[in-house]
Amino acid sequence: MPQWYVAVSIRVPGPMTDSVLNRFMVFRPPDEEQCVWVDADDRTLLHATIEIPAPDSHAAVDAGRDMAQAAILVLDSAADVVDVVAVDVDDESGTYFRWTPTAPET
C-alpha cells in the first residue's frame, strides 16, 4: 500500500501556549512519525504531520481530516481546519492533493 505524507493546519482564536501544545503528546507515537508544532510566526496556527499508509489520495486526505478533527477536540476550542495536504511519499513529481473546508453559507 502506498505511503502518504499528510499535513494539516488548524487555526485557533488566540495564541497557543506551550501547555496547550503539550496536550498533543498523546498523538505522538513512540517512533516519532508524527510531528505537531505551533507556527513560529503565527501562534494561532497549529501544524501536524504524519506518514500513513493509504490506498489513494482520497483516503489519505480523509485520514488527514479525521486527524484535524481529533486535534480540534484536544484543543477544546473554536478551532478551524485551514487545510489538509497529502503527498505520495514515492511520487517525485511534486504532485500533492489539498483539501480546504468550504466557507459556511450566510
For 66-101, what is each residue's pLDDT tens digit?
Answer: 989 988 888 877 889 999 999 999 988 888 999 998
> Which structural domains are found in the chain, ordered by start?
3-91 (3.30.70.100)
| Rounded Cα–Cα distance for residues 90 and 99 (Å) | 20
pTM over 0.85: no
Q: Per residue in 8-59, pLDDT tens?
A: 999 998 888 877 777 766 655 555 566 888 898 999 999 988 899 999 999 9
Distance CA 37, CA 48 (A): 7
What is residue 11's predicted lDDT score, i.e. its pLDDT?
93
Residue 89: count other Cβ atoms within 10 Å of its Cβ: 12
Confidence of residue 105 (pLDDT cuts 50, 70, 90): low
Edge-to-edge strand ranges of the sheet holding 97-99:
35-38, 45-53, 3-11, 80-88, 97-99
Asked if 90 and 53 touch (Cβ cutoff 8 Å), the reply is no
pLDDT at 55: 95
